[in-house]
Structure formats: structure tokens, C-alpha cells
Amino acid sequence: MPIDAGKYREVLAGLGGKVKLVAVSKTKPAEDIKELYDLGQRDFGENYVQELVDKQAVLPADIRWHFIGHLQSNKVKYIVPFVHLIHGVDSLRLLKEIDKQAARSGRVITCLLQVFIAREETKFGLDEQELAEVMQSAPGLKNISIAGLMGMASFTEDPEKIRSEFHALRSLFDKYFPSAAAPATSSILSMGMSGDYKIAVEEGSNMVRIGSLLFGKRG
């Protein structure tokens, strides 16, 4: 399906240059990604390891690939050589495996910790206690850089519920990544998808992951 260039520019303009747009291209063909690439987009997000590896092989080398899905430890090695940012780290075990593979590749991999904020559904992510534990252990991992947090709100029509979940994540972000502590680096708060990104930005998101709004509905 052809990309709606007008929609893309509208979303970008709405983000006002301060919020990074990750175009979520899962299940969409490489040609669609190339179309958006030709409009200037460089950050793309994928959920499945094999699909990401296949697309990376055939698309321009300057694309920054974001892994946003649930990553299994035994598949880390396939994406570590090229991945730009891993959003969904939800266990210390996974973080340690990324560190180990990153050392082998001679890279430092930037990661976000996924926090469970959706009260209604079972989604992947750390609770507050687990987040505290991972944050304590992380400095010992030399090939990992934890840049911030990622979360998904409940799938609901209730905007106030979504807002309160994003607000809770923002509070944790401020606690663990105070901007004054790292003036030179910019910490990342990855929250917001096609249906809720405007609320997420109002609540302090600085990275949104948008798929269907740009690429059309997934089959």
C-alpha cells in the first residue's frame, strides 16, 4: 500500500521536532519502508527478530532500527550487530544476555526498560520493585547503556485512564532519569502509539512509536 505522505508530514509537524518519531513497520513490506525512507524517515521499529534481520539486509544502511517487541534471550545475538535501540527490556536476565552479545560484537547497546503500566491487561514489563532492582544492577554491565523507559497504556477508549498510566510512567522516568543528572545526554521516554500518542506527548513522552497511522492497518 502506498504511504500517505501528507499524513506523515502532518504527524511530524504535530510532534514539533522535539519528539522523536519511530515508524513501526512490523508486517509491512520493505517497499513501504523505502517509501517512508525516501520522505526522510530514518527511525523504524520492528517487533519480530527474523523480520527485522531480513529487512535490515535489504534496506539502506543508515536506517536506525529499533527493536520494540518482546525479545527472547536466545535471539539477542541476531540483532545486536546492528540494532540502534532496544525498547522492551523487561528482565535482568535479558539485559545480561544483551550485554554479553554486545561485548562479543564490540558494541555498547542502548536499551530502554519496559515498565508495566496497563492495569487492565497482562502486558510485558517490569513492576516498580523490579525496575528498582534492574536499575541497581545495570551499572555493572559495561556493554549496556540504559537510556530511559518504555511503556504501553491500556487498550481502552477512556482517555483519562490512558493519561493516568502515562503520567505514572513519567513519574518513574523523572525519578530514575532526572535531566539535571545527565545534562549532556538526553534520556528517552518511549510512550505513545497511533491511538494515544497525543496524550503521551502531553504527558512528557519524547519518543513515539507509530505504525498503523503511517502504514495503514495491519492485516
Ligand X SMILES: *Cc1c(COP(=O)(O)O)cnc(C)c1O
Q: Least distance (Å) from ligand X to the CB of residue 47?
A: 5
Q: Which of 3, 15, 19, 24 binds ligand X (CB under 6 A)?
A: 24
Instruction: Report the interhelical angle of 49-58 vs 30-38 (nearest 10°).
Output: 60
Task: Between 76 and 152, name the residue whose CB sits nearer to ligand X.
Answer: 152
x/- track of binding to ligand X for residues 164-203 (CB under 6 A): -----------------------------xxx--------
- Whose Cβ is closer to ligand X: residue 144's or residue 208's? 208
Number of amino acids touching ligand X (CB under 6 A): 13
Nearer to ligand X, 20 or 209 (CB): 209
Give the whole-angstrom CA distance, residue 123 versus residue 89: 13
2 φ/ψ angles, rounded to the nearest 5 degrees: -70, 150
Residue 154 makes contact with ligand X by CB under 6 A: no
Instruction: Give the closest residue to 12 by CA, choosing from 33, 34, 42, 32.
Output: 42
Q: Under the criterion CB under 6 A, does residue 114 sit at the interface with ligand X?
A: no
Position 149 contacts ligand X (CB under 6 A):
no
Binding mask 65-94 for ligand X (x = CB under 6 A): ---x--------------------------
* Greatest pairwise CA separation for the chain in angstroms: 46
Q: Using the rule CB under 6 A, is 36 a contact of ligand X?
A: no
* 91-124 as b/e: b if 16+ CB within 10 A: bbebbbbbbbbbbeeeeebbbbbbbbbbeeeebe
- Under the criterion CB under 6 A, does residue 55 sit at the interface with ligand X? no
Three cell numbers, residue 135? 536499575
- Asked if 105 is part of the footprint of ligand X (rule: CB under 6 A), the reply reads no
Query: Binding to ligand X by residue 25, rule CB under 6 A?
Result: no
Residue 210 binds to ligand X (criterion: CB under 6 A): yes
Among 25, 41, 47, 187, binds ligand X (CB under 6 A): 47
Secondary structure in 3-state letters for 146-186: EEEEEECCCCCCCHHHHHHHHHHHHHHHHHHCCHHHCCCCC
Question: Quick count: other Cβ atoms within 10 Å of Cβ 69?
Answer: 19
Distance CA 39, CA 77 (A): 31
Helix (H, G, I), strand (E, B) or coil at 54: helix
Q: Which stretch binds ligand X (CB under 6 A): 28-36, 96-104, 160-168, 208-216?
A: 208-216
Whole-angstrom distance, CA of residue 3 vs CA of residue 29 = 12
List residues near ligand X by CB under 6 A.
Answer: 24, 26, 47, 68, 152, 193-195, 209-213
